[in-house]
Structure 1
Amino acid sequence: MTSINSTSNINLNSLAIDLELSLLSPAYAIIIRINLLILLIILILIFELIRQYLKTRIIIHGNLMLILLFYKDPKELLTPLWLVCFLLGPFYIQILCYPSLHFCIMLERLRATLFLEKYENEGKKLAVFMNILCWVISIGYSIYIILMAFADPTMAIQGAIFLSTKSTANLTIYISILTTLMVILTALSDWKITKLNKKIKQRSRKIFFGYNLSKNFQLNENILVMRLILPMDIAYATIYLIYNALVVLIRIYKDKISPTNYVFYYSTLDTLLYLYTTVTIIVYIKLIKFIRNNQNITIERMTKSEEQTNMHFKELQKIWG
């Protein structure tokens, strides 16, 4: 028993010192600062997105939080397993839920294209069901990863820095491959849906009789929505393909690199997703501003038209006494 405890302490000390050297290295410091800066920009953009949507100004406090490494012993840098679950659990939800929601949005756009005349009267049951299903499966996947981490006797309770274990290594690789195929299929399907909507639009222009206002409105909405969705999904599929290919490569060689280098490489790859999220929020903010400007222009034109109509009727009343 004494030899086992001493071996455990030696491994823990080695991991703590390795983690300390990694955190103090210039490369890791640069990556962490870049990620913190991008996440701060994302947070600010989310507030701006909400402000644009609600048309009300959100007052943001001027104080900034400063994150420092303050410790007396390298062991203090190690994280309890329960805290790692709290910090990394949402990541496993996001890694499966986000691509799944993209796929479900594509299915909804496909339904809107195939059922143009009926889609306006269709309920939201299918969309709600797909949304709930994505969240339930993703949360279940995250819970499974956490439970397997606690069940693995090799996981150091006071020295965990990630949740993946030998028993879940293959599963995480399969999930990465599955989600990569999912986002590629989503992008290709969006491209086909866009072409299909354009063909329907061209076909409808040749038909002079049987004009359907509801069908035409839904068709124009589909074309407008796909102009936004298609470029974003192509960009997401490209970035996600690069990200997951490198993630799978890191996981395959996980046993040949140190735990701290494993975390460092993962943090570096996460920068790609953070950058995509930043660009996505900026695009949504631009879209909201574009829609609002068009609405203001339409309201101004309607107001001028109404004023001209009132003036015209007043002149007619003067003429006819």
Structure 2
Amino acid sequence: MSVNSSSIPPNGSTPNLTDCANAKDYVTDFGYFFVRWAHLITGSVILLLLLNISVFIAKKPNLPLHGNLKLLLLNVLFLYSIFALSYLITSVRYLFIFATFSDPCQCLTPIWLAFLLRMPAYVYLVASPLFHFGIMVERVRATIFVGKYEREGIKCGIGITIFMWLLAVLFSTYIVITAFADTVTFSKPLVYLSMTTSFNAQVFINIHYFFLFLVICVALADYLLIKLNKLAIQRAKNKVMPYNLSRSYQAKENIVTIRLLFPLDFSYTLFFTIFIISSAFVRFYKDEMSLLVYNRAYEGIQLILSMHAIISLSTYLYFLKRSRGQSAEELTVAQRTREHFRVLQSQWKFEEAQPKNEEAFIRGIIAARRRDERGKMNEK
């Protein structure tokens, strides 16, 4: 078949007939057809879940989570979105080409478009475990400074966000540089959507193992944090340390938060382990496979991460719906009590009260409320 020059993507050197034939196989392969439809379906589900979560947050912005944690979780949700869009748009493009192409060279991909379609997935691969680690660091800090963390702002979350995105950008830059170092492949339109070259293949394998170690550490740290926060609450109840309302509230918030995050981190560790082992196996035997089989296998393995994203987002949505019963403007126990204390001060003109008595007064109000609630339950 002759090459129609008008159908060649205008990028770099003119591809040869072999490139066009391989690109046609890349588009028409039956196994790839299944993988692309799977990415199309899972990507659509991820985006629908993200849309539901966004609508819920817009209706109820006052979630019962610390600002630092909310900021980091928003970054995780953004990573889910770019990962889903990367594979969804890629799948739609190739399914469209499959239905409309008339010349094999139309199946080739310009270099600029290849980077645009594939780089978000690489960013997700790097940034996702980093942000899971960042969330763990934020919870460790909340545990260490449990007595005052409730009153702190989101500087910690902003700092972690900037640092993690800086690492992701640096690694993305490395991918681009090492890709263009392969002057044979990246001097003309691409047959396959892959940034892996002989210059970065081993680094990809090594960084997979590093992130595997990282997510295992995150899961273990979450488990230890639950134990530490339970211990802090128990010590306060047993009068081992002076009772502090803010400390007690923050410790309980830590436990609730980590109980939400621990199953997600554990499942992330499980899915990521399967993904790492599978992708490392495929990369290890890359030289014994055709490029078509290698790329199809690797993109099929990416569906493991898509399934984890669906599970995580479904869990987030369940958590949000579960908190719907609480009033949107509901304050924490400490905040409600302090507000009540200020109202009483205004009514009784008790403005000269000493700050050291406030905690005792607050505890008295809480105890009274609990007695009232028990009385109402007994009446029922």
Q: TM-score normalised by the shorter chain: which range applies?
A: 0.7 to 0.9
The one-character-per-residue Cα deviations of 1:262-284 (angstroms, maximum 9, x if unpaired) are 21111111111111111111111
- Report the alpha carbon displacement of residue 11 of structure 1 after superposing the two structures with TM: 8.5
CA–CA distance in 2 between the matches of 1:263 and 1:295?
Answer: 50
CA–CA distance in 1 between the matches of 2:178 and 2:191?
Answer: 13
Partner of 1:55 in structure 2? 59
Partner of 2:189 in structure 1? 158
Partner of 2:218 in structure 1? 186
Q: 1:76 aligns with which of 84, 87, 106?
A: 106
Partner of 1:30 in structure 2? 34
Partner of 2:262 in structure 1? 230
- Classify 1:91/1:82 alpha carbon distance in 2 versus 1 (closer, same or farther; 3 Å): same
- Classify 1:200/1:218 alpha carbon distance in 2 versus 1 (closer, same or farther; 3 Å): same
Partner of 1:246 in structure 2? 278
CA–CA distance in 1 between the matches of 2:287 and 2:106?
Answer: 24
Aligned residues between the structures: 284
Do the aligned partners of 1:19 and 1:260 also contact (CA within 8 Å) in 2? no
Q: Aligned-pair RMSD on alpha carbons? A: 2.5
2:95 is the alignment partner of 1:91? no
* Unaligned stretches of 5+ residues in structure 2: 1-12, 61-91, 337-380
Partner of 1:17 in structure 2? 21
Q: 2:203 aligns with which of 171, 192, 202?
A: 171
The one-character-per-residue Cα deviations of 1:137-193 (angstroms, maximum 9, x if unpaired) are 111111221122122222142224211110111111111111111111101111111
- Opposite residue 274 of structure 1, the aligned amino acid is S
Greater shift in the superposed pair: 89-98 or 18-27: 18-27
Greater shift in the superposed pair: 73-82 or 92-101: 73-82
2:165 is the alignment partner of 1:135? yes
3-state SS, counterpart of residue 45 of structure 1: helix
3-state SS, counterpart of residue 32 of structure 1: helix
- Classify 1:246/1:181 alpha carbon distance in 2 versus 1 (closer, same or farther; 3 Å): same
CA–CA distance in 2 between the matches of 1:104 and 1:138?
Answer: 13
Partner of 2:133 in structure 1? 103
- Classify 1:55/1:124 alpha carbon distance in 2 versus 1 (closer, same or farther; 3 Å): closer
Do the aligned partners of 1:84 and 1:160 also contact (CA within 8 Å) in 2? no
* Unaligned stretches of 5+ residues in structure 1: 1-8, 57-64, 303-321
- Classify 1:198/1:12 alpha carbon distance in 2 versus 1 (closer, same or farther; 3 Å): farther
CA–CA distance in 1 between the matches of 2:143 and 2:52?
Answer: 33
Do the aligned partners of 1:97 and 1:134 also contact (CA within 8 Å) in 2? yes
CA–CA distance in 1 between the matches of 2:264 and 2:241?
Answer: 37
CA–CA distance in 1 between the matches of 2:254 and 2:171?
Answer: 33
- Report the alpha carbon displacement of residue 260 of structure 1 after superposing the two structures with TM: 1.6
Highest RCO, 1 vs 2 (Cα 8 Å, sep ≥ 6): 1
Partner of 2:83 in structure 1? none
Greater shift in the superposed pair: 173-182 or 154-163: 154-163
CA–CA distance in 1 between the matches of 2:241 and 2:247?
Answer: 14
- Report the alpha carbon displacement of residue 118 of structure 1 after superposing the two structures with TM: 2.6
CA–CA distance in 1 between the matches of 2:205 and 2:125?
Answer: 12
Do the aligned partners of 2:23 and 2:191 also contact (CA within 8 Å) in 1? no
Counterparts of 1:266-305 in structure 2, within 5 Å, are 266-295=298-327
TM-score, normalized by length of structure 2? 0.69
- Opposite residue 31 of structure 1, the aligned amino acid is V
Do the aligned partners of 1:187 and 1:233 also contact (CA within 8 Å) in 2? yes
Partner of 1:149 in structure 2? 179
- Report the alpha carbon displacement of residue 12 of structure 1 after superposing the two structures with TM: 4.2
- Report the alpha carbon displacement of residue 255 of structure 1 after superposing the two structures with TM: 2.0
- Opposite residue 159 of structure 1, the aligned amino acid is L
- Opposite residue 104 of structure 1, the aligned amino acid is G
- Report the alpha carbon displacement of residue 25 of structure 1 after superposing the two structures with TM: 3.3
- Classify 1:11/1:253 alpha carbon distance in 2 versus 1 (closer, same or farther; 3 Å): farther
Partner of 1:312 in structure 2? none
The one-character-per-residue Cα deviations of 1:61-112 (angstroms, maximum 9, x if unpaired) are xxxx895222112221121222111111112211111100100110110111
CA–CA distance in 2 between the matches of 1:208 and 1:191?
Answer: 23
3-state SS, counterpart of residue 166 of structure 1: coil
- Opposite residue 280 of structure 1, the aligned amino acid is S
- Classify 1:12/1:188 alpha carbon distance in 2 versus 1 (closer, same or farther; 3 Å): farther
